[in-house]
């Protein structure tokens, strides 16, 4: 599955489409496609079906969910530009799953020197588990057939630490996508993460910026270097 099905024209058309909706004041929060208006997803594919990102645009469904989550959480001024910035950052003709984009995104969220979540974790046990997650993700980026997730990773998910992100990583390796049905429950658990991430800023601007950086680094000319960097980060 290649992004924009290898078509520069398709990418340009969808960017122009969401820009036109923004300029016409048709890009709105909290609404899928209705009466010519809608959210980031709606204005990109004219429906509320996140899974349509794959057949229409060659973009993994889990990234559609993340684009949606960020759009709904950003302040209005930033959110209106978000769909364009998201599409612009995605290179044309790349298999994002083959570049381990989800794993690299989670690694960046955890280990970025100035914005990473690991620096905010309180408690030796939670910090130890977080580092185990980082080690596991690095292994999965490096190896074609890595070992199964350690028990620590599963315990970490049950404890509600980065539950939604751990779920996203699992999605790329599972043929059965039924786990998407549990997203509401996972969101509830993730909402309890303040027990482990004291002082985490609710503003998702940093999360948006990291996603854009990881997507841009998936371009063919830089993907090999970015994969190597992801394996060494942290």
SS3 state of residue 34: strand
**Structure confidence at residue 93 (pLDDT):** 96
Describe the crossing of helices 61-73 and 101-111 by its angle, rounded to 10 degrees: 40
Q: Which two tokens stand for residue 10?
A: 């398709």
SS3 state of residue 160: coil
Contacts of 206 (CB under 8 A, 6+ apart): 115
Q: How far apart are CA 30 and CA 213, in angstroms?
A: 26
Task: Read off the pTM.
Answer: 0.75
Q: Which two tokens stand for residue 158?
A: 């049950």
pLDDT in tens, the chain (234 residues): 999 999 999 999 999 999 999 999 999 999 999 999 999 999 999 999 999 999 999 998 888 988 998 898 888 888 999 999 999 999 999 999 888 887 788 788 878 888 777 777 777 776 777 787 788 778 778 875 555 555 555 555 444 344 444 444 444 433 333 333 333 333 333 333 333 443 444 446 788 898 999 999 998 764 444 444 444 444
Judge whether 137 and 177 are in contact, CB under 8 Å: no
Judge whether 48 and 38 are in contact, CB under 8 Å: yes
């Amino acid at each position: 599955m290649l992004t924009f099905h290898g078509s520069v024209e398709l990418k340009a058309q969808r960017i122009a489409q969401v820009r036109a909706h923004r300029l016409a004041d048709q890009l709105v929060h909290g609404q899928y496609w209705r009466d010519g208006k809608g959210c980031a997803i709606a204005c990109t594919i004219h429906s509320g079906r996140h899974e349509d990102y794959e057949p229409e645009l060659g973009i993994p469904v889990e990234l559609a969910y993340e684009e949606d989550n960020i759009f709904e959480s950003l302040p209005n001024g930033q959110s209106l530009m978000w769909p364009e910035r998201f599409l612009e950052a995605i290179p044309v003709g790349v298999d994002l799953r083959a570049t381990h984009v989800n794993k690299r995104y989670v690694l960046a969220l955890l280990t970025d020197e100035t914005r990473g979540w690991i620096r905010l974790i309180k408690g030796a046990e939670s910090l130890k588990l977080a580092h185990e997650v980082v080690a596991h993700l690095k292994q999965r980026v490096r190896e074609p057939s890595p070992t199964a997730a350690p028990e620590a990773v599963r315990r970490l998910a049950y404890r509600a630490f980065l539950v939604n992100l751990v779920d996203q990583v699992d999605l790329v390796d599972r043929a059965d996508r039924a786990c998407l049905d549990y997203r509401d429950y996972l969101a509830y658990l993730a909402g309890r993460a303040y027990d482990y991430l004291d002082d985490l800023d609710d503003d998702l601007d940093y999360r948006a910026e990291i996603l854009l950086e990881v997507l841009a680094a998936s371009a063919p000319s830089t993907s090999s270097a970015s994969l190597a960097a992801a394996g060494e980060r942290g």
